Amino acid sequence: MQVRVASGDIATYDAPCIVVHLFEGITAPGGGTGAVDAALGGMISDLIQSGDIRGKDGELTMIHTFGKLAAPRVLVAGLGKSSEFTVDKVRDLSASIARHLRAKRVAEYATIAHGAGIAGLDPAACAEATAEGTLLGLYRFDRHKKANDDNFEVQTLTIVEHDAGRVAALQAAAERGVILAESVEFARDLSNEPGNILTPTEFAARAEAMATQHGLGVRILDRDQVGEMGMGAFLGVARGSAQPPRFIVLTYNGGVDSKPLGLIGKGITFDTGGISIKPSEAMLEMKGDMSGGGAVIAAMMAIARLRPKINVTALVPATENMPGGNAIKPTDVLRAMNGKTIEVINTDAEGRVILADALSYAVQLDLSPVVDVATLTGAISIALGNVAFGVFANNDALAERIKGAAKAAGEKCWELPMFSEYKELNKSNVADVKNSGARGAGSIAAAFFLKEFVDERPWAHLDIAGVDFYDAEKGVLTKGASGIPVRTLVNLALDLAERPI
């Protein structure tokens, strides 16, 4: 769909539907809503008076104008209390409005920018959030369904701005929102795709096609190439699968002379657990076990389009985790690229094993800082539920920058401790480290395992296992893959470009 910004007066704007808004407690609406109310002969005020419209957060009221306005319909969106209104709410509300109007078969609508009036938010930030939220809310994954009546799509959203001098800035902001949303859509498509279609080969092919389209450098390494590089851990996991593994390398050159930011993503295209096989129920989300890899690849797409002055390299080891005849067994020992040996206690703790090689490679390439993203542990959703992803870091400055980037994106995260006492959890009797241990502190143990492979450089690990899939729509989240933390990663790259650590 298309998002545009036009200068004009919402009350006289000619579109199949116009969207205005109302904060809770307002009885005499002003701004664009007031102008529309006046043109409707006070209809909105009357509905407020009668208690039909209260301005509650998420309340949507459709009014038919029967010739009183150029637009045949007005949707009044409740914004809740103006003191509690935020840019995050603009995103979520824009998503709900978009789904509501799509269900009503409205192909085209115009809106005033929510939040820029009495809530006092930055108008450009509101325009960006409106565009972003609208696209994210309308996302659906239906490519494997035959076409039916439900395939109706919204074609155009116009943000109407009364101050002509502001249009260019709002247009630029809306375009940024579209770029971010489209990269999230790309990540969601990759994660929603079933494992029989998104094999490691197909995953790499889609990354390569995107890279070529957006001018990124790309190298796809095969089994022999990573074998020569010494990636015994990654290849150990790949051994159980009939599908050949792929190691995806994307590079963005922002024209500066500094170490590239490393974005590393877990790319398990399906996680059966391997020989330590998962129960059937637990496998149903495992087509999304490449969501970390998908997120870093998708973030590279937005970075390529936004062109920050920073170099970025993305590394994604991609393989299935399968219990084939050649699969690794519990207690097998593997050797990672940096020379450290790993005792595989549980073949279902495969993410940290493939990341061992990806992080070793990041060190060899001298990437800094390094941020990895992985659906790593079920334990993180015991700690944080599906609300926030976990952040682990060996560097406080980097952790703070990630939290700031996440906050700006409206993606929630929470830092967990890296107290040195936890390091013991990965002690092995036969190898340098083991991949699974006691029951407690599972997510922290996994983070400590990864830390073994980053060689003390600034590093952070994002455990997204609780937030990668949702079973209901809510605000910008739709059913299935969330695309979290694509926007956090993009914000981080933009921020590091401005202010390196």
The contact set with ligand BES (CB under 6 A) reads: 271, 285, 289, 346, 348-351, 375, 377-379, 436, 442, 465
Stretch that binds Zn ion, among 61-69, 170-178, 286-294, 420-428 (CB under 5 A): 286-294
Which of the ranges 265-273, 352-360, 446-454, 477-485 carries the binding residues for Zn ion, by CB under 5 A?
A: 265-273
* 115 is a site residue for Zn ion (CB under 5 A): no
The DSSP element (H or E) to which 313 belongs, if any, is strand 312-321
Q: Residue 372's binding partner, choosing from Zn ion, Mn ion, ligand BES, none, with beta-carbon cut-off 5 to 8 A by kind?
A: none
Query: Residue 6 forms beta bridges with which residues?
Result: 160
Q: Are 60 and 111 in contact (CB under 8 A)?
A: no
- Per the CB < 8 A criterion, the answer to whether 397 and 458 are in contact is yes
Identity of the residue numbered 351 = G
Nearer to Mn ion, 285 or 350 (CB): 350
* Smallest distance, ligand BES to C-beta of residue 207, A: 20
* 3-class DSSP assignment, residue 211: helix
Q: Cis link prior to 317 (omega < 30° from 0)?
A: no
Phi, psi dihedrals of residue 247, rounded to the nearest 5°? -115, 115
Residue whose CB is less far from ligand BES, 174 or 445: 445
* Closest to Zn ion by CB, 180 or 286: 286
DSSP H or E segment with residue 4: strand 2-7
What is the SS3 assignment for 333?
strand
Q: How far is the CB of 347 from Mn ion (least distance, A)?
A: 8
Q: Which is nearer to Mn ion, 208 or 372 (CB)?
A: 372
Select the span of 104-112, 175-183, 283-291, 434-442 touching Zn ion (CB under 5 A).
283-291
Using the minimum distance from each CB to ligand BES, give the nearer residue, 216 or 344: 344
Question: What amino acid occupies position 359?
Answer: L
In angstroms and rounded to an integer, the radius of gyration of the C-alpha atoms of the chain is 24
Choosing from 271, 285, 320, 357, the residue that interacts with Mn ion (CB under 5 A) is: 271
Q: Give the integer Cα–Cα distance in Å for 355 and 376.
A: 10
Question: What is the smallest separation between the CB atom of 427 and ligand BES, expressed in angstroms?
Answer: 15
Q: How far is CA 395 from CA 262, 314, 319, in A?
A: 15, 20, 30
Identified binder of Zn ion from the candidate list 29, 292, 351, 458, rule CB under 5 A: 351
Output the residue with the shortest Cβ distance to ligand BES.
378
Instruction: Please list the active-site residues.
Output: 278, 352
Stretch that binds Mn ion, among 89-97, 263-271, 296-304, 444-452 (CB under 5 A): 263-271
Could you give the C-alpha distances from 176 to 96, 131, 169, 409, in angstroms and in order?
A: 20, 9, 11, 12
Q: What is the DSSP letter of 63?
A: E
* Closest CB to ligand BES among residues 290, 304: 290
Whole-number minimum distance, CB 350 to Mn ion, in Å? 5
Element (H, E) at 451: helix 442-451
Q: Choose between 183 and 436: whose C-beta lies nearer to ligand BES.
A: 436
Which is nearer to ligand BES, 378 or 404 (by Cβ)? 378
- Give the phi and the psi of residue 413 in degrees, each rounded to 5: -140, 165
Task: For tokens 């936004």, name the residue.
Answer: 306
Q: How far is the CB of 323 from ligand BES (least distance, A)?
A: 13
Determine the residue with CB nearest Zn ion.
Answer: 271
CB 39 within 8 A of CB 29: no
Using DSSP's 3-state secondary structure scheme, residue 465 falls into: coil
Residue with tokens 């062109």, as numbered in its chain: 307
Regarding 348 and contact with Mn ion (CB under 5 A), the answer is: yes
CB of 189 to Mn ion, least distance (A): 23
Which residue's CB is nearer to Zn ion, number 88 or number 289?
Answer: 289
**CA–CA dist 290, 294 (Å, integer):** 6
Smallest gap, in angstroms, from Cβ of residue 417 to Zn ion? 23
Which residues does 330 contact at the CB level (< 8 Å), separation at least 6?
275, 276, 344, 345, 346, 347
Q: How many other C-beta atoms are found inside a 10 Å radius of the C-beta of residue 158?
A: 19
First to last CA, the chain: 38
Give the integer Cα–Cα distance in Å for 414 and 496.
20
Q: Tell me: does residue 289 bind Zn ion (CB under 5 A).
A: yes
- The region of 37-45, 209-217, 347-355, 459-467 touching Mn ion under the rule CB under 5 A is 347-355
In contact, 98 and 134? CB cutoff 8 Å: yes
Q: Point out which span in 134-142, 146-154, 288-296, 418-426 binds Zn ion (CB under 5 A).
A: 288-296
Instruction: Count other C-beta atoms under 10 Å from residue 419's C-beta.
Output: 10
Tell me how far, at minimum, the Cβ of 435 lies from ligand BES, in Å: 7
Rounded to a whole number of angstroms, the minimum distance from the CB of residue 346 to ligand BES is: 4
Does residue 372 touch Zn ion according to CB under 5 A?
Answer: no
Residues lying near Mn ion in the complex (CB under 5 A):
271, 348, 350
Residues lying near Zn ion in the complex (CB under 5 A):
268, 271, 289, 351
